[in-house]
């Protein structure tokens, strides 16, 4: 087991009606003037935004709303939010929504605390932020895990690049998680969320090291998400299934399922380029390339893939290679069964691409040939291009 530190300081407030306690938690974590950050119209349609505003009013907490975070949220929009927060003299950022609203809130929190810095300097790795305003979350979709993660992902439309910033400053102070708030999700978004939750665990599970407890936690989480995902796709109002997904979403991306290992995250890097170029939903971008990645790397450590096939999918086969491939096939069949694409051609936002586009994706994913990705198997631009090519049908 590799040495690690584990910090997961977010106070999780889980269960029905927990959003009613929003104002108490804002005050508990030092908020006096609140910028309420949300995405599109879903929180208006559901009445959640209005409820939150009423609660802040009743508690005497001045607030201003800032909507418009799009899926794959942009740097420009976050910069508008920073200006709004500074003008309003906000001292607390409250995200109401999913990963896109939460990541925008995190970016605003960092930008407002460092007003002299262009925040892309942080997201592009040129410098490291030293301060952020506190962020609280009311979660409406089980997917990105941003409600407890140390990460925030932004797309820079000017450069066409999608980048994450990992910093403990990004850990929200609290996350209010009422599974009933996810009942209004379109089935496609539930499926994207299920995929992303699985992938946060798979991108840690497929790594060069074995760690019995961590691996067993990861397998249990995967089995639970697969089963609950099936139920949730059939009925988004199933409280138990939506609860399991919500809790799994947080645990899959707060670090727990990778402790002691060397997280890989190659599939996330491959997916980010697809989202940056084609604006495809994050979960769908991951399903599009996972099978191609898995087949490309499975010879590196077949035993890890056979363990996965046995413990997650309940498969058996005396032939190691056949068993490993059966586990990969089972994963892809599951993705298709919940409406997720498993190739460029199945992804309506992407489609089958000419070779030059595939090569450009690989060039971008290698950060213009300045990095490799992955730890399970280290992948350079040539490997990345082959993985994209194998998914391009």
Cα dihedral 361→152→74→62 (10° resolution): 170
Output DSSP code: residue 373.
Answer: B
Question: Residues in the chain, how many?
Answer: 393
152 binds, among ligand NZQ, Zn ion, none (CB under 5 to 8 A by kind): ligand NZQ
Minimum distance of ligand NZQ from residue 108's CB (angstroms): 14
Site string for ligand NZQ, 57-86 (x = CB under 6 A): --------------xxx-------------
Nearer to Zn ion, 134 or 283 (CB): 283
> Binding string, 88-127, against ligand NZQ, x = CB under 6 A?
---------xxxxx-x------------------------
Given 26, 143, 259, 385, the residue binding ligand NZQ (CB under 6 A): 143
Q: How far apart are CA 202 and CA 376, in angstroms?
A: 11
d(CA 305, CA 391): 19
197 near ligand NZQ, judged by CB under 6 A = no
- Count of Cβ atoms closer than 10 Å to residue 367 Cβ: 16
- The answer to the question of residue 203 lying near Zn ion (CB under 5 A) is no
- Between the alpha carbon of residue 257 and those of residues 24, 93, 200, 212, the distances in Å are 31, 28, 8, 11
Distance CA 129, CA 117 (A): 9
The DSSP symbol for 206 reads S
Looking only at residues 178 through 197 of this chain, which bind Zn ion when binding is defined by CB under 5 A? 196
Identity of the residue, 152 or 326, whose beta carbon is nearer to ligand NZQ in the bound complex: 152
Which of Zn ion, ligand NZQ, none does residue 42 bind (CB under 5 to 8 Å by kind)? ligand NZQ
Distance of CA 62 to the CA centre of its chain: 31
- Phi and psi for 159 in degrees, rounded to 5? -105, -5
List binders of ligand NZQ among 149-178 (CB under 6 A): 149, 151-153
The angle formed by the CA atoms of residues 276, 277 and 278, to the nearest 5 degrees, is: 100
User: Counting contacts by CB under 5 A, is residue 264 touching Zn ion?
Assistant: no
The encoded tokens of residue 66 equal 């800032």
The stretch near ligand NZQ (CB under 6 A) out of 81-89, 109-117, 138-146, 323-331 is 138-146
Residue numbers 286-325 binding ligand NZQ by CB under 6 A: none
Q: How many residues bind ligand NZQ (CB under 6 A)?
A: 35
Which range touches ligand NZQ (CB under 6 A), out of 2-10, 18-26, 136-144, 215-223?
136-144
Cα 242 to Cα 142, 175, 374: the distances in Å are: 8, 16, 31
List residues near ligand NZQ by CB under 6 A.
Answer: 39-43, 71-73, 97-101, 103, 140-141, 143-146, 149, 151-153, 181-182, 184-185, 189, 192-193, 196, 253, 268, 282
């Amino acid at each position: 087991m590799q040495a690690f530190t584990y910090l997961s300081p977010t106070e999780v407030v889980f269960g029905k009606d927990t959003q009613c306690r929003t104002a108490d938690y804002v005050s508990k974590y030092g908020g006096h003037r609140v910028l309420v950050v949300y995405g599109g119209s879903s929180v208006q349609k559901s009445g959640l935004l209005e409820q939150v505003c009423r609660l802040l009013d009743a508690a005497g907490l001045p607030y201003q709303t800032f909507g418009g975070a799009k899926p794959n949220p942009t740097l420009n929009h976050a910069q508008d939010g920073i200006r709004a927060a500074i003008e309003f003299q906000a001292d607390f950022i409250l995200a109401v929504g999913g990963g896109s609203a939460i990541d925008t809130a995190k970016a605003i929190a960092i930008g407002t605390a460092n007003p002299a810095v262009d925040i892309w300097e942080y997201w592009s790795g040129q410098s490291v932020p030293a301060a952020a305003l506190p962020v609280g979350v009311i979660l409406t979709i089980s997917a990105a895990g941003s409600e407890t993660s140390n990460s925030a992902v932004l797309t820079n439309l000017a450069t066409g690049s999608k980048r994450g910033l990992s910093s403990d400053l990004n850990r929200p102070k609290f996350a209010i998680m009422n599974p009933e708030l996810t009942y209004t999700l379109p089935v496609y978004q539930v499926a994207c969320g299920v995929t992303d939750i699985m992938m946060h665990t798979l991108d840690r599970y497929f790594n060069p090291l074995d760690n019995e407890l961590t691996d067993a936690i990861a397998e249990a989480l995967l089995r639970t998400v697969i089963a609950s995902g099936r139920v949730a796709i059939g009925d988004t109002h199933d409280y138990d299934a939506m609860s399991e997904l919500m809790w799994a979403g947080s645990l899959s991306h707060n670090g727990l399922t990778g402790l002691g290992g060397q997280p890989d995250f190659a599939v996330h890097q491959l997916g980010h380029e697809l989202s940056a170029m084609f604006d495809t939903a994050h979960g769908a971008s991951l399903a599009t390339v996972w099978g191609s990645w898995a087949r490309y790397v499975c010879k590196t450590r077949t035993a890890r893939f056979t363990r996965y096939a046995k413990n997650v999918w309940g498969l058996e086969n005396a032939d190691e290679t056949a068993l490993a491939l059966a586990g990969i096939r089972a994963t892809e069949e599951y993705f298709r069964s919940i409406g997720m694409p498993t190739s460029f051609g199945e992804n309506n936002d992407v489609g089958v691409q000419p070779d030059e586009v595939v090569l450009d994706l690989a060039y971008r994913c290698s950060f213009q040939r300045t990095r490799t990705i992955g730890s399970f198997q280290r992948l350079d631009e040539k490997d990345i291009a082959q993985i994209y090519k194998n998914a391009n049908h």
